[in-house]
């Protein structure tokens, strides 16, 4: 059997020098997917037909409603299962690769103490109406997440956690008072793109309040951010789901000290 056939058997195909993959459902490479969505219609046969029609227009054909549940008056939640013929070219996928080394807590502390000669100041918050502090607490609080301690554990970092529902002016003022080297913002609420609006408002406020040379590093994180949108949102770095405190600490050292941005 040739290598192309072997690759195809694993759900990966070589086409014109590209490495493409297709979804896996019941059997390898069968293109089966499962999607869920809510339609503003009461649950009946017509509603299920509408769900199938929508799935067809999404490229799922054949499509089958495997679950439908009323979600109050005039709304129905659907789960649809079916086949797509789309392929994904892995070589064309654009992601933000980690471009800095991962350091342990001792290494971070040593670099900050030796090179900065003062504590590195970090201010964190959830801004706007966002009250979900789980993300920012996981990064900042000493208890951390999954056995990895947060930034409060690093003795050469001074951490100020403002908590939830902090207004942008309050965040800017806190960053000024604490002489923040970096501002970390967590956004979980994404209805009507609230996380994007809040981030743009924050970056604009810092640009207006502080000159470029005195502005802190602006970092945002949350499960719905696109990590490639830093320039569009006016921030220095975006961290997605699964980010650990060690990654953030290592990035701070890389961006602020190795890159020479930190203030003495």
Six-digit token string for 28 = 């390898």
Six-digit token string for 78 = 């659907």
106 belongs to the catalytic site: no
Q: Which of 10, 18, 106, 143 is catalytic?
A: 143
Residues counted in the chain:
264
The answer to whether the CB of 111 falls within 8 A of the CB of 91 is no
Residue 52 CA to its chain's centroid (Å):
31
Question: What DSSP string describes the chain?
Answer: --HHHHHHHTTEEEETTEEEE---SSSTT--EEEEEEEESS-SSHHHHHHHHHHHHHTT--SEEEEEEEE-STT-EEEEEEEE----EEGGG-------S----HHHHHHHIIIIISSPEEEEEE-BTT----HHHHHHHSTT-BTTB--GGG-TTEEEEE--SSB-HHHHHHHHHHTT-SEEEEE----GGGHHHHHHHHHHHHHHHHS-GGGPPEEEEE-TT--TT-HHHHT-SEEE-TT--HHHHHHHHIIIIIITS----
CA atoms of 100 and 80, how far apart (whole Å)? 41
Residue positions annotated with a catalytic role: 143
């Amino acid at each position: 059997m040739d290598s192309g056939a072997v690759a195809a058997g694993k759900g990966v195909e070589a086409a014109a020098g590209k490495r493409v993959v297709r979804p896996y459902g019941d059997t390898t490479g069968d293109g089966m997917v499962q999607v869920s969505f809510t339609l503003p219609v009461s649950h009946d046969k017509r509603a299920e037909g509408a769900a199938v029609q929508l799935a067809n227009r999404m490229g799922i054909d054949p499509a089958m409603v495997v679950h439908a549940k009323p979600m109050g008056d005039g709304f129905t939640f659907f789960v649809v299962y079916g086949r797509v013929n789309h392929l994904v070219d892995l070589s064309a996928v654009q992601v933000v690769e980690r471009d800095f080394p991962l350091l342990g807590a001792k290494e971070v502390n040593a670099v900050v103490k030796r090179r900065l000669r003062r504590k590195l100041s970090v201010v964190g918050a959830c801004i706007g109406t966002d009250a979900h502090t789980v993300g920012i607490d996981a990064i900042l609080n000493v208890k951390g997440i999954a056995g990895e301690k947060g930034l409060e554990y690093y003795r050469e970092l001074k951490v100020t956690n403002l908590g939830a529902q902090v207004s942008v002016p309050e965040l800017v003022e806190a960053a000024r008072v604490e002489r923040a080297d970096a501002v970390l913002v967590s956004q979980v609420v994404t209805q009507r793109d609230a996380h994007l609006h809040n981030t743009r408002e924050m970056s604009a406020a810092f640009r207006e309040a502080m000159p470029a040379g005195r502005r802190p590093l602006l970092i945002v994180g949350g499960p719905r951010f696109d990590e490639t949108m830093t320039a569009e949102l006016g921030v220095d770095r975006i961290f997605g789901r699964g980010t650990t405190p060690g990654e953030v600490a290592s990035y701070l050292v890389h961006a602020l000290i190795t890159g020479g941005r930190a203030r003495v």
